[in-house]
Amino acid sequence: MDALVEIEREQDQQPVTAVISHLVKRGREQDYERWLRDISVVAQQFEGHQGVSFIRPQSGICPEYVIILKFDRYTNLKQWLQSDVRRSWLAKAKPLIQRDETIEVLTGLETWFTLPGKPMQLPPARYKMVIVTGLAVFTIANLLNYTLTPFLAGLPTLLRSLLFSFLSVSLLTYIVMPRLTKLLYRWLYPRQAST
């Protein structure tokens, strides 16, 4: 049980993103924009807040606003999402939106699909993330196996496996995935790439 608590504690040290969607009533967009600006200022006062971005409706067809909210860890995000302050702000938004908000919390693969210098946006379709990540892992694993095995052959199997794992994850996180995301941007984000 202690190991499980430790794993949860370690996972809570990771940045987390919440993607919140609101369908705004027609004719209430300006009021909603004002509300959005004000609640964003309030959210910044909560511990661990790392920024907020918005995706405004692209056309008059669907009046969906997407709020992308980043916190340094899940417990801090949870404090904001469950706070009385936020609840009172949501009550003010009730007359402005068509239905209750939807919230999706991203902590896994989705975080590999963000580009520095680009505004936050919804993650790509999950099947696209699986394809890109699978190809990247396959390539890295085979390259590392081919290039490093001759040098590490004398090490115990578990230690060699641990080294390969850490090298693979490091390369994926800091080098491969950012470049692949940039290279495949038009395919991963077809709507944003065309605007």
User: What is the pLDDT, as a whole number, of residue 12?
Assistant: 63
Give me the tens of pLDDT residue by residue for the chain, a chain 195 residues long. Answer: 444 344 445 556 677 888 888 999 988 999 999 999 999 999 999 999 988 888 888 766 778 888 888 888 888 998 999 999 999 999 999 999 998 888 877 766 555 665 555 554 566 777 888 899 899 999 999 998 889 888 888 888 888 888 888 888 888 877 888 888 889 988 987 865 555
Coil, helix or strand at residue 104: strand
User: What is the pLDDT, as a whole number, of residue 86?
Assistant: 95
Q: How far apart are CA 42 and CA 89, in angstroms?
A: 9
Domains of the chain: 2-107 (3.30.70.100), 126-194 (no CATH)
